[in-house]
Amino acid sequence: MFKTLCKLPTAHEDSVWAVCWSHNEQDDDVISGSVDGLVRTWRWNPQTNTLDSKFKLEGHRMGIVSVDIDFSGKVAVSSSLDSHIRLWDLENAKLLRTIDAGPVNSWSVAFSPDGRFVATGSGTGDINVYATEDGKLQTPLATRGQFLLTVAFSPNGKLLASGGNDGLINLFEVSTGKLLHKVEAHNMPIRQLAFSPDSQTLLSASDDNLIKAYDATHAHIAATLSGHTSRVLAVAWSPDNHHFASASSDKTVKVWNLNARQCLHTFDEHSDQVWSVCFDRSGKRLVSAADDGAIHVHECPF
C-alpha cells in the first residue's frame, strides 16, 4: 500500500530544492539543501518512521541548488547560488573542500560512480568536471548549448549526460570526452536527467510537463509519459530498475512503472511545487522536498 510515512513540515526555513538518500549499507542518511543556505543531514529511523536531525552544514552564502552523496555514503557535495561547490564529510559534519566555480558556472552537481569526480552544468553550456581530491577543473565538455540545468553519470561510469534550457540532451563518453549523441528531446527546458541502475535507460523531466525515456546506448526514444499538469522538475529511479518517481510544479509526486508505461500512485500532500525526489537503497521508501519547506517520506510497496 502506498502511503506517506513521515512529514517534516518545517525541515528548513525556506524552500527545499534538493534531497538525496544515501545508498550506503551501514547508514540510512538523507541530506537536504534549501534556499535558506543550509545543507542538513537526517537519519531515517524505521522503528518510529521519523527523520531525525543530525547536522546542519553551514558555509554557503546563498540558496542550495543541488546535493548528492557519493557511493561510500561518507561524502556529500552541494552547489549553491553563491557559485561555490562544497564537499562535506558526513561522518564528522566537516567541510572538506570548497570549489569556486565562478559566476553561473555551477548548477546541478553529480558524483561520478567511483566518487573521484564531481560534474556540474554551467551557464555557458559546458559540463565542468572537478577532481574531488584536489578540486582541480578537468577539461570541460562543450555542448555548444544553453544553460545546463542537469548532469548525470551512468552508474557504470561510461556515460555523462546533460540537459538544459534548450531542451537538448547531450551524451558524452566519459573515457574520451567524445560527444556521442545530441538529442532534441523537449521543446522546453530539461530540469533533470536520471540513468537507470543498469545504465541502459535515460529519463528526462521537462517544463513541457512530459517525462521521456531513451535508450542510453543509441539515444532512441523508448517512451513518452504524461500525467503531470505542470512542469516536471525531477525524476529518480528505484533500485529495482523498473520503477521511478517524478516531482512537479503541480505539487505532486508520481510513482511509475516504466515497463507498463503506467502511473501507479500520486502523492499530493505537498502544498507547493516539488523540486526533488530520491529512493532509498531498498526502493521501498521515497523522499520528496518542496517549496513549502517540507520533506516527506513515502512508502512504495514494490
Q: What pLDDT digit, counting tens, does each position of 71-97 carry?
A: 999 999 999 999 999 999 999 999 999
Furthest-apart CA pair in the chain: how many Å? 50
3-state SS of 45-84 is ECCCCEEEEEEEECCCCCCEEEEEECCCCCEEEEEECCCE
Residues 193-206 as b or e (16 or more Cβ within 10 Å = b): bbbbbebbbbbbbb
In 3-state terms, what secondary structure has residue 117? Answer: strand
Q: How many angstroms separate the first and last alpha carbons of the chain?
A: 9
Q: Taking a C-beta distance cutoff of 8 angstroms, is the pair 60, 46 a contact?
A: no
% of the chain beyond a pLDDT of 90: 95
Q: What pLDDT digit, counting tens, does each position of 112-164 carry?
A: 999 999 999 999 899 999 999 999 999 999 998 899 999 999 999 999 999 99
Of 77-86, 98-107, 127-136, 282-291, where does mean pLDDT reach its minimum?
A: 98-107
Q: Taking a C-beta distance cutoff of 8 angstroms, is the pair 161, 112 a contact?
A: no
pLDDT band at 20 (very low <50, low <70, confident <90, very high): very high
At residue 104, the pLDDT reads 75
pLDDT band at 262 (very low <50, low <70, confident <90, very high): very high
Q: Taking a C-beta distance cutoff of 8 angstroms, is the pair 104, 145 a contact?
A: no
Q: 36: closest CA among 291, 297, 252?
A: 291
Q: What mean pLDDT comes out for the span 190-201? A: 98
pLDDT band at 51 (very low <50, low <70, confident <90, very high): very high
Q: What mean pLDDT comes out for the span 105-112? A: 93
Q: Is the pLDDT of residue 43 over 90?
A: yes
Q: Is the pLDDT of residue 106 over 80?
A: yes
Q: Is the pLDDT of residue 26 over 80?
A: no
Q: What pLDDT digit, counting tens, does each position of 165-175 carry?
A: 999 999 999 99
Q: 116: closest CA among 55, 174, 31?
A: 174
Q: Taking a C-beta distance cutoff of 8 angstroms, is the pair 81, 65 a contact?
A: yes
At residue 25, the pLDDT reads 79
Q: 165: closest CA among 219, 227, 107, 83?
A: 107
Residue with cell 570549489: 99
What does DSSP say about strands 94-100 and 84-89: parallel, antiparallel, or unpaired? Answer: antiparallel
At residue 13, the pLDDT reads 96
Q: What is the pTM of this model?
A: 0.97
141: which 3 cell numbers?
565538455
Q: Taking a C-beta distance cutoff of 8 angstroms, is the pair 301, 272 a contact?
A: no
- H helices within the chain, ranges in order? none
Q: Taking a C-beta distance cutoff of 8 angstroms, is the pair 295, 38 a contact?
A: no
Residue with cell 557559485: 83
Q: What pLDDT digit, counting tens, does each position of 215-250 carry?
A: 999 999 999 999 999 999 999 999 999 999 999 999
Q: Taking a C-beta distance cutoff of 8 angstroms, is the pair 256, 246 a contact?
A: yes
